[in-house]
Structure 1
């Protein structure tokens, strides 16, 4: 296996064996099992499906969620892209499978995330087709997207919780 200074693989490997608690600044966010239940994924099959150019590495165009997850977790993606081994570690990590917000989220508060960072959080939690987001007067980024094939409203609070609900017609 390749040796990288700070790599997606080694960081994802560490996350895979860490508890399901994620840090945002000094606040800890422990997911609660309310929205978007985790789905069992065959990481090797998923990689094969995503690697549309067949070069053995995933580009951001091929794997938006993996790149968003890496940015949220502060990982460095190698220049050539994400290898099959790195993707397997990322895909198998607790952070990949558990995508539920804290009970009571979204929380009002001063939100220091940029719109791009809020969108990354939504995409990392498997929300696709995320619209432009708008920060409301409670400090919550709001927009729309798709989750599990359904249109949803999405909210990202200052703690990094991603909350989805059925989109309003």
Structure 2
């Protein structure tokens, strides 16, 4: 991660301290995936909170790992630096970057587009696992071959 990007990530991680209220993201959506791995940033409490949120909606176990170099994981999965967040998921071959609500992940699996995955950049207040309230719609981006465009808004 470039110096500016790691400073931004460090500052963002500081924002995940404190309680969260994921009640606005309660849903009956269930994700029927065969494999689910979350790569979490070291020492990030909101990654743990997001993992708990996601586990409630998975029909399989979530494997959580804390790599030494989270930036290398993001590069491996082709996540553009502009879309980075604190954790990266791999769900049945799709990459899911950040605090993406289950509704957007369900849409990804319902539509099965020919893309690498989706991302909710940074760590917006009120997103699953993050404290605060949602102040504007979340723009979820489709990622494909290092390029990105709007996938959906929630």
- TM-score category (smaller protein): under 0.3
Normalization by structure 2: what TM-score?
0.26
Larger Rg computed on CA atoms: 1
Normalization by structure 1: what TM-score?
0.25
